Structure 1
Amino acid sequence: MTILLFGVTKDIIGSSTLSMPSSSEFGSKRSKTVKELKEYLGKMYPELKKLSSLAVAVNNSYANDDTIIDNFDEIALIPPVSGG
């Protein structure tokens, strides 16, 4: 599974993409949800938990925590956006 990273998420992880091998603890054979992905990433990268919000897009659409994901989906982490 490849996750696209933007803004501060890219800075935290140190790359614009993150590849998660299917053999990882998150990559079990049962269905996975966006919430489980966020929890797993929070354990691996504790700085992500400090963000005020973190949106996840699955296949170019914003996803809820209960959205089912699999290894073939395009996932993007979208941090809070500030502007002026």
Structure 2
Amino acid sequence: MPQQLWTSVDDYFNGLLVEEDDALRAVAAHSGSSHLPEHQVTPNQGKLLHLLARIQGARTILEIGTLGGYSTVWLARALPADGR
């Protein structure tokens, strides 16, 4: 499948299911302005990580290789108030 089709599918689901807030947009923008490789997760993938951590009832999360921190924000938001 061509990359453009994958991108269109991602854009569709992102628009339908995911609302990025100012913090997530700022992390993504900072990654871009810092010339980091464009390997961060997409918004819908971030939301999936968030959902999986919540379903699991995670109280501690360790992410290795955070790049710009976009997925870290999603995962951190899945933790309870006393999570780490």
Could you say which TM-score interval applies, normalised by the shorter chain?
under 0.3
RCO greater where, 1 or 2, for CA within 8 Å and sep 6 or more?
1
TM-score, normalised on structure 1?
A: 0.26
Greater C-alpha Rg: 2
Report the TM-score, using the length of structure 2 for normalisation: 0.26
Higher strand content, 1 or 2: 1
Which has the larger share of helix? 2
